Amino acid sequence: MFFKHGMYLAEGSKAPVAASGVVSSMNVKPAKAAKAPSQKKDSSPVAVSENKDRKKDAPHPRMQFDDKSRVEKAKKRAVVKQTEARNRVELFRHLPQYEHGTRLLDLELKFFELDPVHPTVYKVGLRYLAGDISGGNARCIAMLQAFQESIKDYSTPPEKALIRDLTAKINCYVSFLIECRPLSISMGNAIRFLKNRIANLPVTLSESEAKTTLLTDIDRFINEKIILADQVIVGHAVTKIRDGDVLLTYGPSSAVEMILLQAHELGKQFRVVVVDSRPKLDGRLLLRRLVGKGLSCTYTHINAVSCIMHEVTRVFLGASSVLSNGTVYSKVGTACVAMVAHAFRVPVLVCCEAYKFHERVQLDSICFNELGDPDAISKVAGRKDINYLDDWANNENLQLLNLTYDATPSDYVSMIITDYGMVPPTSIPVIVREYRKEHLWI
């Protein structure tokens, strides 16, 4: 194919093609309109079933919080009448806004009014809201264990089927948890796994047998997909640590912490650089645990990561999720660390369990994210004299943005360490397909 006078001419073809990709009408005879084949004749049971599967696999449209009509409907269904978010950032109006006010107190007062919510699920939701449970694995395990307790106490109402009624109960619990805090991608995968198991229960099973089967499935998911998966990841990752290494980590990842502790127990001599960021400063907890175990550590903030990267030999990062295009969805600031490491030609190793993988494709951190408390970035802990932004909500020209996650492009990731092995980001779609074969999500 070559370019001539604003048109492309394909090799072996007499018809010139315009630069826009449209065939030019000159020197081309009009073709007869082909008769559209009848869809009824070609429709077969196999094709119909494939179409149904495609419709079933199609994700539901996410709630757009800049749609006033849908927001009003969501408010009517809400358990707690929350106050309106102040000074919204226009670019992120479509995301669930961080609500101010006494949400925790309102939920506690409404405990006896929420008949459908199991007490264990209610307790977990309050802990999500208060920030007592954080981290992808910890939140997912707490949710599944709460579902286990609710299934143990469940009894099928008369004239109702267990499959339909229990699924409705789970949906009610999930809606409550979302009101407390938006679900992570890994929690969504775990919920789909549980719903799939409920839907595939044999009709011949009694209620006690069905409950026992579901409880066993949840235990197996926690053990195989989270606990054992972390052990496999640790076994793979410690082989990449050598004596004299300087390892940099960012964000509170339980898998990365286990890797560092295991390498230290094996007698490997290395130093850890813990990078932290405001407002949570959760790297301090990791630093305290590592120093308590005898590891040599250096602590710095993310604004100085470029100054210390020349010492680093490898970067270990955790992830909230890995998407099918290889994008790593993790704590905000992860993309910055990975980009600096890539500029210094330092390998970036991302540790992530396979149950956190998702078939979605995401190119930025705008379409899907979670908004944190804007007041958290307007204050400095322990410095009451720094009060310049105390009255920021009354200033219409000022909006504070506290994002929770960001998206790291696959170009900045050297390898992803998962329970399927150490793979490049381009292999993520294969792992997602294998998960589908195991019917772990639909």
Query: pLDDT (tens digit, 9 = 90+) per residue, 264-304?
Result: 999 999 999 999 998 888 899 999 999 999 999 999 999 99
Superfamily, domain 241-377+388-437:
Translation initiation factor eif-2b; domain 2 (3.40.50.10470)
Q: Say whether pLDDT at 97 is over 70.
A: yes
Instruction: Report the share of the chain in percent with pLDDT over 70.
Output: 75
Contact indicator for 286, 316 with CB cutoff of 8 Å? no
- Give the domain ranges of the chain: 116-231, 241-377+388-437
Instruction: Report the share of the chain in percent with pLDDT over 90.
Output: 49
Mean pLDDT of the chain: 80
Give the pLDDT score at 399. 82
Residues 240, 227: Cα–Cα separation, whole Å = 21
Task: For tokens 């908004």, name the residue.
Answer: 371
Residue type, 10: A
Q: Categorise residue 382: left if φ over 0, alpha if ψ from -120 to 50, beta otherwise.
A: left
Which of 105-119, 293-307, 352-366, 369-383 shows the lowest per-residue confidence on average (mean pLDDT)? Answer: 105-119
Find the angle CA(121)-CA(127)-CA(132) to the nearest 5 degrees. Answer: 145
Residues 99, 385: Cα–Cα separation, whole Å = 26
DSSP letter assigned to residue 228: H
Q: How far is CA 232 from CA 190, 272, 353, 388, 419, in A?
A: 20, 22, 9, 49, 5
- Fold (topology level) of 116-231: Four Helix Bundle (Hemerythrin (Met), subunit A) (1.20.120)
Q: Say whether pLDDT at 16 is over 50.
A: no
Please report, in angstroms and rounded to a whole number, the separation of the first and last CA atoms in the chain: 43
Give the pLDDT score at 394. 73
Query: pLDDT (tens digit, 9 = 90+) per residue, 153-171?
Result: 999 888 888 999 999 999 9
**Rg for the chain, CA atoms, rounded:** 26
Query: pLDDT (tens digit, 9 = 90+) per residue, 302-353?
Result: 999 999 999 999 999 999 999 999 999 999 999 999 999 999 999 999 999 9
Among 222, 313, 212, 333, which residue's Cα sits nearest to residue 271?
313
- For the record, the structure tokens of 150 come out as 């609710």
Give the pLDDT score at 203. 87
Contact indicator for 403, 332 with CB cutoff of 8 Å? yes
Q: What is the pTM of this model?
A: 0.78
Question: Phi, psi at residue 274, to the nearest 5°?
Answer: -95, 115
